[in-house]
Amino acid sequence: MLIISQLIGIRIRRALEEFVSECTTLSESSIALLDPQLVPATKPEFGDFQVNCALTLAKPLRKPPREIALAIVEKIKHDEQFLELCEVPLIAGPGFINITVKPKCLISELEHRLRDKRLGVPPIDSDRSDKQLSRVVVDFSSPNIAKEMHVGHLRSTIIGDCLARVLEFRGHTVLRLNHVGDWGTQFGMLITHLKQVAPLALKKPDAVDLGDLVDFYREAKQRFDTDITFQALSREEVVKLQSGDEISLKAWSLLCEQSRREFQNIYQRLDIRLTERGESFYNPYLQSVVDGLERSGLLVVDDGAKCVFLEGLVGKDGKALPVIVQKRDGGFNYATTDLAAIRYRFTAIPQGDGACRVIYVTDVGQSNHFFGVFQVAKRAGWIPSDGSLEHVPFGLVQGEDGKKLKTRSGDTVRLRDLLDEAIGRAEKDLRRRLREEGRQEDSAFISNVSSTVGLASVKYADLSQNRITNYQFSFDRMLSLQGNTAPYLLYALVRISGIYRKGGDTDLALSKVEFSEPQEWVLLRELLKFDDVIVLVEKELLPNRLCNYLFELSQVFNRFYDQVPVLKAEEPHRVSRLALCRLTADTLKLGMTLLGIPTLERM
């Protein structure tokens, strides 16, 4: 009820300002800053909203909070615009003001949302004073070339995708950047190994299959660790690559392209859109980072390395920790690349991305790294005054034993294997249910449902957790039809689809909406929370807020459906309840789309 709450807030603030101006000598500017503290009601019996300002104003105004609340309500009673929306407020406890929205206002909002593809969620250009769409960079996924995407990349990939979807839906221009690890000293050994074991690949790239790049990487690493000659050649190869040697660059490009194809297979399965921009993209800008820090007076030479010492972060010896931007040998590192990326992303178009908000979705283990890089960028003046730089950290994926998720052999779980197993388990469960129900379905149906349920379950199990914490991965729990799971949400949609298949009209006569049962009002009020939730996710970058809402909505709908007849109800109750069913379906579908989860009509 975002718009309704905004209208209520305006009326409450006006009454509050009038009251305070009558009893204090505060300046007009100070009075205008007064916050009515309008929040959703903590319990249904308290109405729809609560105004809590009377308690915080009691001390500065030297009045009992209940007296303040009474005065505000007295002014509200004479506000015709407020009374068009709400009943006369009630006072509870020491001075809480409880507000209930009028039924006709709720029904009007229902009718509006049934006609609105955005379901009441306003685009940002309607609630921004400057009317300018903002550009947001979301940096997520970020695997390394020649290494397998593993379960650790799952969280960054789907959390980043969800946040990008929500921001796009709100109307931001979002750059979905995949900052892949496509540069560095490891390419020296990979290129050397490639030249020796598959030289033909450099002449005819399609003539040689390098096979599993992970095995290729392991072979190169083993040679580097045990063969002194190979080590020397690998270091020489790094110099050649950085110097722009044509053959070395061709080998590097070949390795990157093969990895890129493997990554794309995963992204396609998960329905992820990304623009690749690897570390190599920022190579031309690295020296300017060092030069810029030197001009700003932040750069310090310590033991031959050029660095910036941080404020507020010290080592065990109590001394400030450094961010090294150029090593003693003249080389650069990850911090230098990240600083170059920040400068580029905030620089105005066409020289840069022109972003006003830059979001990094990585594991919590990189928090100190980004704390340091962000601080250096801010102190150097590279972040605009209206710019926002945010790290979105997430915890580990653990096994059911509470330890880091690994295979039985102790290896990190490959992402493609995890997805395959989820789909396989979903298919096994589906076939079991079909046998028990005596249903016959063709292979296309089984394949589609298994794939949808399997991948949706993996995504939702992750997104439904508070991203900041670790979570325990369990196939049985995530594939269950009970609890806060993707199958539970999908099944709620299937129930609604069943109503339509049994004769529920989709072309509703909205003018006849009329409710008579408390369950109808409970469901309607839950549906009208959707816009608030989306705006909250945009602000806090916590996808689990949306998951929790969709789960609660599904629970409320299922209670409504079990307790109130729909198709067998008399008019106008039949069409009114069908309207609730349709808005529930639309809300679940849109919410799950923003999570990156497809839906089903049957399962």
Q: Which helix (H) or strand (E) holds 564?
A: none
Q: By C-alpha distance, which of 472, 419, 473 is closest to 450?
A: 419
> pLDDT, tens digit, for every residue of 93-141?
889 999 999 999 999 999 999 999 999 999 987 555 444 458 999 999 9
- Residue stretches of the chain with pLDDT short of 50: 129-132, 207-208, 210
In 3-state terms, what secondary structure has residue 51? strand
What pLDDT score was predicted for residue 307?
Answer: 94
- CA triplet 594, 599, 600: central angle to 5 degrees? 170
Per the listing, tokens 């928090």 go with: 367
What pLDDT score was predicted for residue 21?
Answer: 81
In 3-state terms, what secondary structure has residue 40? strand
What pLDDT score was predicted for residue 205?
Answer: 61
Q: By C-alpha distance, which of 186, 188, 9, 155 is closest to 82?
A: 9
* Cβ(7)–Cβ(127) below 8 Å: no
Please report, for residues 309, 337, 570, 579, the alpha-carbon distance to residue 332 in angstroms, rounded to integers and kept in the order given: 17, 8, 74, 61
Amino acid at residue number 568: K
What pLDDT score was predicted for residue 572?
Answer: 85
**Residue 460: Cβ-neighbour burial (10 angstroms; 0-12, 13-18, 19+):** buried
> pLDDT, tens digit, for every residue of 441-495?
999 999 999 999 999 999 999 999 999 999 888 899 999 999 999 999 999 999 9
Q: By C-alpha distance, which of 547, 552, 528, 527 is closest to 537?
A: 547
What pLDDT score was predicted for residue 131?
Answer: 40
Written as six digits, the tokens of 207 are 């003539």
Q: Which residue spans of the chain are classified as CATH 3.40.50.620?
A: 282-394
What pLDDT score was predicted for residue 130?
Answer: 44
Query: What is the distance between the alpha carbons of residues 325 and 307, in angstroms, rounded to a whole number?
Result: 5
Query: What is the distance between the alpha carbons of residues 337 and 331, in angstroms, rounded to a whole number?
Result: 11
Handedness of CA 300, 303, 307, 310 (dihedral sign): negative
Per the listing, tokens 């053959």 go with: 247
Cis ω on the peptide bond leading into residue 322 (within 30° of 0)? no
What pLDDT score was predicted for residue 129?
Answer: 45
**Residue 501: Cβ-neighbour burial (10 angstroms; 0-12, 13-18, 19+):** exposed
Computed on alpha carbons and rounded to an integer, the radius of gyration of the chain in Å comes to 29
Q: By C-alpha distance, which of 557, 558, 585, 580 is closest to 569?
A: 580
Q: By C-alpha distance, which of 322, 351, 353 is closest to 336?
A: 322
Give start and end residues of each alpha helix (H) in 271-325.
286-296
Residue 288 is classified by DSSP as: H
Residue 134 is classified by DSSP as: P
Query: What is the distance between the alpha carbons of residues 115 and 112, in angstroms, rounded to a whole number?
Result: 5
- Beta strand extents in 114-246 (DSSP E only): 135-139, 173-178
* Cβ(99)–Cβ(8) below 8 Å: yes
Q: Which residue spans of the chain are classified as CATH 3.30.1360.70?
A: 2-101
In 3-state terms, what secondary structure has residue 133? coil
Q: What CATH number has the domain spanning 2-101?
A: 3.30.1360.70
Query: What is the distance between the alpha carbons of residues 546 and 530, in angstroms, rounded to a whole number?
Result: 9
Question: Taking the chain, what is the end-to-end CA distance rounded to the nearest angstrom?
Answer: 32
What pLDDT score was predicted for residue 551?
Answer: 97
Give me the CATH topology for the region 282-394: Rossmann fold (3.40.50)
